[in-house]
Amino acid sequence: MPTPSKKRKGSSPLAAIVLAAGKGTRMKTVRAKVLHRVCGRPMVYFPVKRALEAGADPVVVVVGHQGDEVEAALRAALPGAPLHFARQEKQLGTAHAVLAAKASLRGYRGPVVILSGDTPLLTTHTLASVVGARTGPQSLAFATMDLENPAGYGRVVHAPGKGPALIVEEKDATPEERQIREVNAGLYVADAEFLWTTLAQVDAKNAQREFYLTDLVALAADGPGAVAVRVSPLEAQGVNDLEDLSLAIRAMTRRIASALMKSGVTLEDPERFDADDGVEVGPDTIIEPSVRLRGTTRIGSGCVIGQGSILADTVVGDRVEMLPYCHLDRARVGDGCRVGPFSRLRPEASLAEGVHVGNFVELKKTSMGKRSKANHLAYLGDATIGADVNVGCGTITCNYDGEKKHPTRIGDGVFVGSDSILVAPISIGKGAYLAAGSTLTENVAAGALALGRARQVNKNGWARKRAAMKKSGKGT
Ligand code: UD1
Ligand code: CA
């Protein structure tokens, strides 16, 4: 077997198999089911992560449909984790899928936990409780749940006075069996040796002509014994179609929201809050309704994040006041900044401490030094802006000449008058003043005043003269 990557001192061995080869026909999408996203992660990430947290080493993921993408997504999300990937070229059923993992576990003796790639809500606690429920080293434990509407799930049939006798799939069930509301949750723990010898006996004589993993229960019941562990449907409900997916996303989001509230974050309306798995928010931060936090976003403490703002892979310091409807993507906002409403910070926008960025201001690959301000209507791209700079309303950095991007440098303390056009590459020295309405193509020295506009001409009395011309029929 693959050598466990970490020394599991004192703890008993555990291996995991995660089934993720199916297409997910009921999703009706080209994308394989387990790649659909739940809170920023492919669905299959969650059962794999939970297996790792329960101490499984290795975790063998059985892939098939879009297998390369599934493997790449998991390796990227869990670098360094003891993951193995086994191919199931043809998806002939869940038992067949488990057998595809056999070679990856060659020589391994001990318990194997089998999880479905389509049950993202399972918790490590529940997983551990099923692992611990086996009555003997040879027996099988599996999770069941009671559902109001058991349609689509395998029903658990009990032998009177004994334990579970078998699982019957809906398509093979009699009308009486279909009335059973205790269903198979798709989580099993069995000894490796039992698993391989028993799976060899499973055939495909059923309505779907598939090799059912659920046949293990009847085979264990006849032999070493099977035990059913009831778990909460909130955790074990599978995702089979896009409606199930939306419910799983909502449930996962609610968990993230609860954890944030427990750690001192105010969510004004947790039902109107979206966050990806892994986002961080500091205590005493207030999040207004309809905010969305994505990817690796981290927000400090004592901030207010205004209604409708969307932050992706963005780092926000402490005591930041973000007014409603801002969009930030891969940006950095320093302590004490004020941003918005309606600001757009694109990748590599970086604000030092105490910067103000106001409405309809767009920044791309642009840094602003301490206390600098761009309060209204500006586009600042590929610009390095110093401290204490005032960028007037309507300022534009012309960073693109149709072929290449060029930089703009603005020194500390510069005053950029309203409606300035800075044609890059251009450099403005410290403390310079740029007159309002200027189009600037030349560098400006420190402390200079730059005017780049036509001189104003006033023609006194012009309106009166025009009216007189019109009256006499000479003018238009
Ligand atoms: C399965 C169970 C059912 C249980 C339900 C719980 C069987 C026969 N049925 O049904 O009793 O109530 O899960 O959620 O096991 N997969 C493969 N290769 C295959 C087939 C499936 O890797 O050849 C993977 C899928 O990608 C999926 C998982 O196994 O992640 C479960 O398959 P799915 O088709 O969703 O099984 P269900 O019909 O839901
Ligand atoms: Ca399923």
> Which pLDDT tens digit goes with each residue over 153-211?
999 999 988 889 999 999 999 999 999 999 999 999 999 999 999 999 999 999 999 99
Query: How high is the pLDDT of residue 7?
Result: 43
What is the pLDDT averaged over residues 42-69?
98
Q: Give yes or no for residue 290 CB within 6 A of ligand 1.
A: no
Which pLDDT band holds residue 52 (cuts at 50, 70, 90)?
very high
What is the pLDDT averaged over residues 146-152?
95
**Does residue 137 have a pLDDT over 80?**
no
What are the pLDDT digits (tens) for 60-103?
Answer: 999 999 999 999 999 999 999 999 999 999 999 999 999 999 99
**The one catalytic residue among 84, 158, 376, 406:** 376
* Dist. CA 105 → ligand 1 center (Å): 21
Q: Which of 231-240, 312-321, 345-354 has the lowest mean pLDDT?
A: 231-240
What are the pLDDT digits (tens) for 269-298?
Answer: 999 999 999 999 999 999 999 999 999 999
Query: How high is the pLDDT of residue 1?
Result: 47
pLDDT mean across residues, the chain: 95
Q: Which of 98-107, 137-146, 253-262, 306-315 has the lowest mean pLDDT?
A: 137-146
**Nearest atom (ligand 1) to Cα of 213:** 15
* Dist. CA 472 → ligand 1 center (Å): 92
* Dist. CA 75 → ligand 2 center (Å): 23
Cβ-proximal residues to 365 (8 Å cutoff; 6+ apart), any chain: 346, 347, 348, 349, 381, 382, 383
Nearest to 314 by CA among 276, 361, 288, 258: 276
Site to substitute for ligand 1 among 94, 130, 157, 206, most atoms within 8 A of C-beta: 94
Domains and CATH numbers, the chain: 15-236 (3.90.550.10), 259-450 (2.160.10.10)
Query: How high is the pLDDT of residue 8?
Result: 47
Which pLDDT band holds residue 474 (cuts at 50, 70, 90)?
confident
Distance CA 445, CA 433 (A): 10
Decide: 4 and 105 in contact? Cβ < 8 Å. Answer: no
**Does residue 442 have a pLDDT over 50?**
yes
Decide: 428 and 446 in contact? Cβ < 8 Å. Answer: no
**Does residue 140 have a pLDDT over 80?**
yes
Q: Which of 134-138, 389-393, 451-455, 463-467 has the lowest mean pLDDT?
A: 134-138
Percent of the chain at pLDDT above 70?
A: 97
Residues with a beta carbon under 5 angstroms from ion ligand 2 = 118, 238, 240
* Dist. CA 28 → ligand 2 center (Å): 14
Q: Give yes or no for residue 97 CB within 6 A of ligand 1.
A: yes
The token pair that represents 305 in the structure block = 């994040």
Which pLDDT band holds residue 139 (cuts at 50, 70, 90)?
confident
**Does residue 251 have a pLDDT over 60?**
yes
Query: How high is the pLDDT of residue 151?
Result: 94
* Dist. CA 83 → ligand 2 center (Å): 22
Q: Give yes or no for residue 240 CB within 6 A of ligand 1.
A: yes
Higher pLDDT, 7 or 369: 369
What is the pLDDT averaged over residues 408-421?
98
DSSP letters for 142-154: EEEEE-SS-TTSP
Q: Distances in Å between the alpha carbon of 316 and those of 15, 99, 273, 378?
A: 40, 48, 18, 21
- Closest-CA residue, ligand 1 atom 28, reads 116
**Nearest atom (ligand 1) to Cα of 32:** 26
**Nearest atom (ligand 1) to Cα of 23:** 26
**Nearest atom (ligand 1) to Cα of 208:** 8
**Nearest atom (ligand 1) to Cα of 96:** 23
* Dist. CA 233 → ligand 2 center (Å): 13
Helices (H), 60-136: 67-77, 94-100, 124-131
**Does residue 10 have a pLDDT over 60?**
no
Distance CA 335, CA 370 (A): 10
Q: Give yes or no for residue 249 CB within 6 A of ligand 1.
A: no
**Does residue 476 have a pLDDT over 60?**
no
Question: Quick one: which ligand is closest to 117's CA?
Answer: 1
Which pLDDT band holds residue 138 (cuts at 50, 70, 90)?
confident
Site to substitute for ligand 1 among 116, 170, 205, 210, most atoms within 8 A of C-beta: 116
356 is catalytic: no
